[in-house]
Amino acid sequence: MKMAHVTIRTNRFEEEINFYEQVAGMTIQRDMRPDADLVFLANAAGETSIEIINDPDAAEAGNSNLSIGFETDDVVKLRGELSAAGYDVTPVFFPMPGVKFFFVKDPAGVSVQFI
């Protein structure tokens, strides 16, 4: 069995799409607009996707219980770039040798971990 996607319902649809394109380096793999405000983003075709659904009534409350992790080549550099861009980032954590990561909230309130 393969994980297909994670769904995020948000009232900040375009901001959410931009975050995953610009910060996580994903691209839109399926775009259901204009029939529905729904897109699927992934690193490449056939990979696990993030499904973003525009929902004007969505609140961040449910999203705060979700965390999505991404690998990056340079945790410290990316954290600095996101901090400079105005994102509220956590400190870099070093829980054990060879492991470092930080968290940032996406526009919908999802906690995104960069490892």
Q: What is the pTM of this model?
A: 0.88
Q: Which pLDDT score, from 0 to 100, does residue 2 have?
A: 87
pLDDT at residue number 61: 59
CA angle 61, 67, 70 (to 5 degrees): 145
Q: Is domain 5-56+65-114 annotated with CATH 3.10.180.10?
A: yes
SS (H, E, C) 10-29: ECCHHHHHHHHHHCCCCEEE
In 32-110, at which residue ranges do the beta strands (DSSP E only) sit?
38-42, 49-54, 67-70, 93-96, 99-105
Cβ of 67: how many Cβ atoms within 10 Å? 11
Q: Are 108 and 60 in contact (CB under 8 A)?
A: yes
pLDDT at 63: 72
Over residues 27-84, the pLDDT tens digits come to 999 999 999 999 999 999 999 999 999 998 887 656 777 889 999 999 999 999 999 9
Q: β-pairing, 38-42 with 27-31?
A: antiparallel
Q: Report domain extents, the chain.
A: 5-56+65-114
